[in-house]
Structure 1
C-alpha cells in the first residue's frame, strides 16, 4: 500500500502543482510581458511539455486510486465518504483534461501554426478557464484527501 500511496501523491503533486504554477505564476508574467504571437507560442509549447506529465498522472492516479479503493479499503461500500468525493472529483478532472486534450489544445496548435492569433487567443482562453476549474477541483481534492477522514 505504501507504494500505491507514494505514487498517488506524487502524481497529484505533479498535476496540481503544475496547474498552480501555470495559473498563478506563468500566466500573469506571460500576459504582462509577451505580445499575443509570443504568448500563444509559449503556451502551446508549455502544454506540449506539461500534458504528457498530466497523461502519466491520470494513469497513475486512476490505477493507484482503484488499487487502494478495492485492494485496501474493500470497495466503495467500505470506504469513507471522503474517498467517494475524491473519486468523483478526480474523474471530473480527468474528463476536463480529456476535453482540453481533444478540443481546444489541438485548435490552439493549428492557430499557432497558421499564425491566427485571434483564434489562438480564444482557444487559450478556453484552456485557461478549464485549467482554472481543474485547479480548484485539484486543490479541493487534496484538501479532502488529507483532511476528509477527520470530517
Structure 2
C-alpha cells in the first residue's frame, strides 16, 4: 500500500513538472509572443512562471523524495540501470529548477519592475533555454526508466 501511494505521488508530481514545462514552452510562450508586445508579454510570463515555479517548489522535492523512497528498498546495487539514469537526470533537473527559481526568476522580477524590457527579455530567454533543457532531460528520464529495465 505504501509503495503504491509513493509511486502515485511520484508520478503525479512528475506529470505536473514535465507537463507544465511542455505547456509553458510549446503553448504559453509562443502564444504570448504572437499576441503581446514585450511590456505586456514579460509581466504575463513572470506571473505565470511565479505560479508554476511556486507549485514546483512542492512537486520537485516530492519527485526527489518519493523517488529515493522507492529506490532505497531495492538498493542501488539491485536497481535497474534505468533507475540510476532516472535518478541522475532527476537530480540534475532539480538543480536546474533551483537555479531558475532562485536566480533567474528574481532577476526577471527585478527587470520587469524596472520596465527594463531588453534585460527582462534576456532573463526570460535564459529561463526558456533551461526549461527546454529540463524538458528534454525529463523525457530522457522517463524513456530511461521505461526502456532500461
Q: Secondary structure at the match of 1:77?
A: coil
Query: How much does 1:144 deviate?
Result: 1.8
Given that 2:9 and 2:66 are in contact with CA atoms closer than 8 Å, whether structure 1 keeps it comes out as yes
TM-score (normalised: structure 2): 0.95
Q: Paired residue for 1:133? A: 133
Query: Which residue of the partner structure matches residue 103 of structure 1?
Result: 103
Q: How does 1:70-109 map to 2 (within 5 A)?
A: 70-71=72-73, 73=74, 75-109=75-109
Map 1:47-86 to 2 at 5 A: 47-71=49-73, 73=74, 75-86=75-86
What RMSD, in angstroms, separates the aligned Cα atoms of the two structures?
Answer: 0.9
Counterpart-to-counterpart distance in 2, 1:148 and 1:17: 22
CA distance in 2, matches of 1:104, 1:62: 22
Task: Find the aligned partners of 1:113 and 1:107 in 2 and give their Cα distance.
Answer: 10
Matched, 1:2 2:4: yes
When normalised by structure 1's length, the TM-score is: 0.94
Query: Cα deviations across residues 101-135 of structure 1 (Å, max 9, x unaligned)?
Result: 12111000000111110110000000000000000
Matched length: 147
Shift in Å, 1:147:
2.9
Q: Structure 2: where are the runs of 5+ without partners?
A: none
Q: Structure 1 runs of 4+ off > 3 angstroms?
A: none
Unaligned runs of 5+ residues in structure 1 are: none
In structure 2, the partner of 1:148 is 148
